[in-house]
C-alpha cells in the first residue's frame, strides 16, 4: 500500500456498462472464463461456490404483466478506489498479508495468488461478492489444459481470486509500447476480454482520467451511476441506464429518497 | 492410592478408574474432532458448508466467542496483579487455565480455517499493519505465549515436578515477576480483543457491521475489549461453579465469587449502556446514511429483531442488574442465571457480528444468505471443548489449582 | 514484520505497530530469561534461597 505522489499522471482504468444495451447473452462471462483460466466445477448446481470473475444478474421491476421489465446487469470486480484516497479499497485495506494490492499506476486491485493464504477476510469486506474462493483444486476436462492461456497463472485450492481487468493484457501492451519507446497506451491497445467479447458493445473500457477515452465522457452522462455508491467504495465500474427503477436497484435508498437527487455527499475521489 | 506422588498433598481426588472412564469418553469426542480436522486439512475447505457469500462462518464465530470468554484471564490478571485485588488470587489460576484453553483453541481453529494452512505464517511475515486481522494474529499469538508463561509455574507446582530444584525455583521466580507478564497480557489483550471488534467494524462495505471511528478504531473496537473484560469473568465463574458441581466440593470461597461477580456486573452494565448508545447511533445515523433502516437488517425469519432484544436486554441488562445487586449475587440461583445469560449474551454478540454480517443482503435484488454448518465444521468446533475438558481434568487432578481447596475440604 | 520484507515501509503505521509488537516481545523475552537465569543460580549456586520452600 505504498503511495505514489504523481497521481496526476496516473491512469485510472475503469469500465462503463450500458445496461440499456446488455441482452444478458453471457458472452462476457464466456470470454472471461477462457481468457483468465477461470476454473469450473463438474457440477455447477450450487452457484454460491462457483467461480466467475464477471457474472450477470437478472433484475426485474417486480411489476405484473404487461408492465414487467427486465434488466441484465453484468458485475465484475469494481476495482474500488475506496474512501478518501486511492488504495483504501474495502478488500485491500483488510487483507492481513498484503495479498491483494492497489496499483497506483492503473488503479487496478491485484490479487497475488501465491501470497494469499485463504483467510477470506477480503470476501467478507467486498460488498459486491466479486471475490471467489477456490474451494477445490481446479480440474479441467481432458485436453482442455492445452487450451489454457499461458499469460494467466491458474490458481490453487484455498486461495481467493477475482477479476483483474485482464491485467496481463495491460502488461503485454506496456511491453510492446516500451519496445516502441512509447509511454502511453492507446485506448484500443488495452481492452479487457469481456469488453472485446460483448456483441452489443455494452461494455466500454478505458482510462477514466484520459479525456480522449470514451469512458471519460460516458461516466459523466446523466444516465451514469455506480453500484452501492453510498457505501463509499468508490467503484471504477459505471453503469448507464435510462430506467429509474434500475438505478434504484443499484443502491439502497430510504423510502423518501430519490436516486440521483440525493445531496451529493458521495463524491468521486481523485 | 498409587498415584499419590502426582496428586497434590492434602486434597482428595476421584479414583483412577473413575478418572480413566471419564477421560476415555472425552477423548473419544476429541478424536472425532481430530478426524474432521485432518479431513479438512487433507481435502480442503470444500468439507465445510461455507460458500462465497459465507466466507466467515461457524469457526470465526467460535474463535471470537472463545476469545471473549477467555477474556476472564486477562481481566482477572489485571485485577489481581495490577489493581491488587488479592482475594482473586484464589481463582486466578483457574482463570489462567481457562484462558489458556480458549486461546490455544482459537489458534487451532484459525489454523483449520485458512485455505492454505502451510502459508499461515504469511500473516506475520508479510504483515499488513493496516489490517485488523494482522493485529489480531500478532496479539493473539503473543498473548497466548503470555498465558503459557502464566500457566507454567502452576504446572511446576505438581508435587513430582516441584521436587526438582531448578523447576521449583523457576516456578517461584516466575511467580515473582508475574505482574510484568500480567501487565503485558493486559496490553496485548486490550488490542487483540479490540481488533477482533475492529474486524467487523471497519467493513465499510457492510453497513450491518460498519461503525463510526474514533481515530483509526471503530466503536466495535472498544465495545469488544470492554465486553470481553465484562463477560469473561462470568465464564470463569460459570466454569468454576460447574467444576464444583462435578467434583462435589467447594473449591473457591463465596467472597471470591462475590467480588468477581460484582466487578463483572458493573462492567456488564456499563458495557451494555455503551452498546445501547452505539446501537442507537448506528440505527439512526450510520445505517440511514447508507440507505438502510434498522429493520432492513432484521427482515429475515432467522435474524429478526428478537436477536437484538436478546442480546441487549435479556443477556445484557438482566445479568448486569442481577450482578450489581448484593441480593442478586448472593442468591445462588440468580447468580447462576446471570452468569449463564451473560455467557450466552457475549456469544450471541459475536455470532451476530460474524454470521449476521454475512447474511444481510446488500442489493435489493439479492435475498438473505443462508448457511448451515457441515458435520466437519461442527466436529472441529466441538474439538476444543473436548480438549478443554481434558486439560481442566488433568489440571484439577494433578495441580494445586485452588489455594482454598484444602481449607474448604479438610480430608480428615 | 522485518525491515527486509519487501512490503516494509518506514511509515507511521509500521513504526507504531511493529514498535508495539517488538516492545511486548522483548518484555516477555527479558522476563523469561531473567526467571530462567535466576533459577539456574538459585538451584546451583548456594542454598541461601532455601527459605522460600513451600510458599508462593
Ligand atoms: S469490488 Fe470487491 S474485490 Fe473488487 S475492489 Fe471492490 S471490494 Fe475489492
Ligand atoms: S483471503 Fe487472501 S487475499 Fe483475501 S484477505 Fe485473506 S490473505 Fe488476503
Cα C54 to Cα A143, B9, B10, C6, C49: the distances in Å are 75, 12, 14, 53, 12
Residue from B234, B236, B227 nearest B197 by CA: B227
Residue C56 pLDDT > 50: no
Alpha carbons B235 and B93: distance in angstroms, whole number: 14
Which of the 8 DSSP states describes residue A7?
G
B44 touches chain A (CB under 8 A): yes
B133 touches chain A (CB under 8 A): yes
Specify the pLDDT at position A258: 87
* Number of B–C residue contacts, CB under 8 Å: 73
Contacts of B173 in chain C (CB under 8 A): 34-35, 38-39, 42
* Number of A–C residue contacts, CB under 8 Å: 3
Residue B7 pLDDT > 90: no
A61 touches chain B (CB under 8 A): no
Specify the pLDDT at position A95: 96
Which of the 8 DSSP states describes residue B284?
I
Alpha carbons B70 and A253: distance in angstroms, whole number: 41
Domains detected in chain A: 7-249 (3.30.70.20)
pLDDT, tens digit, for every residue of A12-43? 999 999 999 999 999 999 999 999 999 999 99
User: Does B165 contact C52 at a Cβ distance shorter than 8 Å?
Assistant: no
The interface predicted TM-score of the complex, written ipTM, equals 0.93
Q: Which of helix, strand or coil describes residue A111?
A: strand
Contact assessment for residue B264 and residue B88, using Cβ atoms and an 8 Å cutoff? no
User: Does B206 contact A124 at a Cβ distance shorter than 8 Å?
Assistant: yes
State the pLDDT confidence band at B3, using cuts at 50, 70 and 90: low
Residue B333 pLDDT > 70: yes
Specify the pLDDT at position A269: 46
A257 touches chain B (CB under 8 A): yes
Contacts of A55 in chain B (CB under 8 A): none
The nearest CA of chain A is from the CA of B294 a distance in Å of 11
Contacts of A2 in chain C (CB under 8 A): 7, 9
Residue C55 pLDDT > 60: no
Residue nearest to atom 4 of ligand 1 (CA): A77
Alpha carbons A252 and A258: distance in angstroms, whole number: 10
State the pLDDT confidence band at C11, using cuts at 50, 70 and 90: confident
Residue from B134, B315, A158, B13 nearest C14 by CA: B134
Residue nearest to atom 4 of ligand 2 (CA): A122
Residues 85-114 of A with CB under 8 A from C: 98
Specify the pLDDT at position C5: 80
Specify the pLDDT at position A5: 45
Instruction: For CA atoms A148, A150, A151, A153, give the dihedral sign.
Output: positive
pLDDT < 50 regions, chain A: 1-7, 265-267, 269-270
Provide the residue count of chain A. Answer: 270
Kindly report the average pLDDT of chain B as a whole number.
Answer: 94
pLDDT, tens digit, for every residue of B348-374? 999 999 999 999 999 989 999 999 999
User: Does B133 contact A248 at a Cβ distance shorter than 8 Å?
Assistant: no
Of ligand 2's listed atoms, the one at least distance from the Cα of A100 is 3
Over residues B290-308, the mean pLDDT reads: 94
Q: Which residues line ligand 2 (CB under 6 A)?
A: A 94-95, 97, 99-100, 116-122, 160
Residue nearest to atom 6 of ligand 2 (CA): A119
Residue A160 pairs in a beta bridge with: A133
Q: Give distance in angstroms: CA of A14 to centre of ligand 2.
A: 23
The nearest CA of chain B is from the CA of C16 a distance in Å of 9
Contacts of B123 in chain A (CB under 8 A): 96-97, 117, 119
Nearest CA in chain B to A136: B46
Can you state the angle between helices B16-43 and B375-398, rounded to 10 degrees? Answer: 150
C50 CB neighbour count, 10 Å cutoff: 11
The answer, yes or no, to whether any atom of ligand 1 lies below 6 A from the CB of A132, is no
pLDDT, tens digit, for every residue of B246-285? 999 999 999 999 999 999 999 999 999 999 999 999 999 9
State the pLDDT confidence band at B337, using cuts at 50, 70 and 90: very high
Residue nearest to atom 6 of ligand 1 (CA): A80
Over residues B304-314, the mean pLDDT reads: 96
Residue nearest to atom 7 of ligand 2 (CA): A116
* Residue A263 Rama label (left phi>0; alpha psi -120 to 50; beta): beta
Kindly report the average pLDDT of chain C as a whole number.
Answer: 80
The answer, yes or no, to whether any atom of ligand 1 lies below 6 A from the CB of A90, is yes
Amino acid at each position: 500500500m505504498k503511495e505514489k505522489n504523481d497521481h496526476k499522471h496516473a491512469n485510472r482504468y475503469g469500465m462503463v456498462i450500458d445496461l440499456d444495451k446488455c441482452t444478458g447473452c453471457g458472452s462476457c462471462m464466456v470470454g472471461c472464463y477462457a481468457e483468465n483460466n477461470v476454473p469450473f466445477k463438474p457440477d455447477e448446481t450450487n452457484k454460491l461456490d462457483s467461480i466467475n470473475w464477471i457474472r450477470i444478474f437478472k433484475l426485474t421491476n417486480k411489476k405484473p404483466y404487461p408492465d414487467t421489465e427486465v434488466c441484465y446487469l453484468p458485475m465484475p470486480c469494481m476495482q474500488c478506489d475506496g474512501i478518501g484516497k486511492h488504495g483504501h479499497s474495502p478488500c485491500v485495506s483488510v487483507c492481513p498479508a498484503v495479498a491483494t494490492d492497489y496499483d497506483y499506476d492503473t488503479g487496478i486491485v491485484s490479487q497475488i495468488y501465491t501470497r494469499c493464504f485463504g483467510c477470506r477476510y477480503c470476501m467478507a469486506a467486498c460488498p459486491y461478492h466479486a471475490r471467489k474462493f477456490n474451494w477445490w483444486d481446479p480440474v479441467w476436462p481432458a485436453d482442455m489444459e492445452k487450451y489454457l492461456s499461458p499469460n494467466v497463472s491458474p490458481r490453487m485450492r484455498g486461495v481467493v481470486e477475482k477479476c483483474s481487468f485482464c491485467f496481463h493484457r495491460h502488461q503485454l501492451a506496456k511491453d510492446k509500447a516500451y519496445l516502441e519507446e512509447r509511454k502511453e497506451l492507446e485506448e484500443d491497445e488495452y481492452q479487457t476480454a469481456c469488453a472485446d467479447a460483448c456483441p452489443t458493445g455494452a461494455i466500454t473500457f478505458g482510462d477514466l482520467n484520459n479525456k480522449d477515452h470514451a469512458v471519460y465522457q460516458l461516466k459523466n452522462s446523466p444516465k451514469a451511476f455506480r453500484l452501492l455508491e453510498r457505501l463509499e467504495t468508490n467503484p471504477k465500474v459505471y453503469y448507464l441506464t435510462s430506467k429509474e427503477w434500475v438505478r434504484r436497484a443499484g443502491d439502497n435508498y430510504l423510502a423518501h429518497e430519490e436516486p440521483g437527487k440525493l445531496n451529493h455527499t458521495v463524491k468521486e475521489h481523485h | 492410592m498409587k498415584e499419590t506422588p502426582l496428586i497434590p498433598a492434602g486434597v482428595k481426588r476421584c479414583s483412577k478408574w473413575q478418572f480413566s472412564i471419564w477421560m476415555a469418553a472425552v477423548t473419544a469426542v476429541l478424536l472425532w474432532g481430530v478426524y474432521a480436522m485432518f479431513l479438512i486439512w487433507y481435502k480442503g475447505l470444500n468439507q465445510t458448508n461455507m460458500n462465497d457469500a459465507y466466507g466467515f462462518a461457524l469457526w470465526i464465530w467460535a474463535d471470537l466467542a472463545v476469545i471473549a470468554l477467555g477474556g476472564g484471564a486477562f481481566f482477572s490478571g489485571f485485577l489481581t496483579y495490577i489493581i491488587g485485588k488479592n482475594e482473586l488470587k484464589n481463582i486466578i489460576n483457574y482463570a489462567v487455565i481457562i484462558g489458556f484453553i480458549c486461546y490455544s483453541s482459537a489458534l487451532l481453529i484459525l489454523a483449520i480455517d485458512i485455505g492454505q494452512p502451510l502459508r499461515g505464517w504469511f500473516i506475520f511475515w508479510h504483515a499488513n499493519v493496516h489490517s485488523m486481522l494482522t493485529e489480531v494474529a500478532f496479539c493473539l499469538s503473543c498473548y497466548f505465549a503470555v498465558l503459557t508463561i502464566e500457566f507454567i509455574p502452576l504446572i511446576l507446582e505438581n508435587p513430582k515436578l516441584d521436587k526438582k530444584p531448578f523447576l521449583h525455583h523457576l516456578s517461584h521466580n516466575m511467580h515473582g515477576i508475574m505482574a510484568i507478564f500480567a501487565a503485558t497480557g493486559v496490553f496485548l489483550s486490550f488490542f487483540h480483543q479490540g481488533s477482533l471488534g475492529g474486524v467487523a467494524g471497519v467493513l465499510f462495505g457492510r453497513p450491518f457491521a460498519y461503525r463510526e471511528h474514533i481515530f483509526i478504531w471503530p466503536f466495535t473496537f472498544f465495545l469488544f475489549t470492554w465486553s470481553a473484560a465484562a463477560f469473561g469473568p462470568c465464564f470463569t465463574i460459570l466454569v468454576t461453579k460447574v467444576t464444583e458441581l462435578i467434583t462435589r466440593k467447594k473449591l473457591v470461597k463465596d467472597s471470591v465469587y462475590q467480588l468477581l461477580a460484582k466487578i463483572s456486573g458493573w462492567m456488564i452494565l456499563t458495557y451494555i449502556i455503551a452498546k445501547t448508545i452505539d446501537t442507537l447511533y448506528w440505527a439512526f445515523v450510520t445505517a440511514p446514511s447508507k440507505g438502510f433502516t434498522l429493520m432492513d437488517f432484521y427482515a429475515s425469519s432467522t435474524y429478526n429483531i428478537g436477536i437484538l432484544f436478546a442480546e441487549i436486554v435479556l443477556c445484557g441488562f438482566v445479568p448486569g442488574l442481577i450482578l450489581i445487586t448484593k441480593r442478586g449475587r448472593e442468591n445462588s440461583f440468580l447468580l447462576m442465571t446471570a452468569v449463564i445469560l451473560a455467557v450466552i449474551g457475549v456469544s450471541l454478540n459475536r455470532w451476530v457480528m460474524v454470521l449476521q454480517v454475512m447474511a444481510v443482503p446488500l442489493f435489493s435484488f439479492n435475498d438473505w444468505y443462508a448457511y448451515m454448518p457441515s458435520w466437519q465444521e461442527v466436529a472441529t468446533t466441538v474439538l476444543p471443548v473436548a480438549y478443554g475438558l481434558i486439560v481442566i481434568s488433568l489440571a484439577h487432578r494433578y495441580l494445586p489449582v485452588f489455594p482454598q481447596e484444602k481449607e474448604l475440604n479438610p480430608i480428615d | 514484520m522485518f525491515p527486509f520484507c519487501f512490503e516494509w515501509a518506514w511509515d507511521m503505521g509500521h513504526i507504531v505497530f511493529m514498535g508495539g509488537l517488538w516492545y511486548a516481545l522483548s518484555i516477555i523475552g527479558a522476563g523469561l530469561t531473567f526467571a530462567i537465569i535466576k533459577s539456574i543460580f538459585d538451584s546451583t549456586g548456594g542454598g541461601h534461597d532455601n527459605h522460600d520452600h513451600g510458599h508462593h
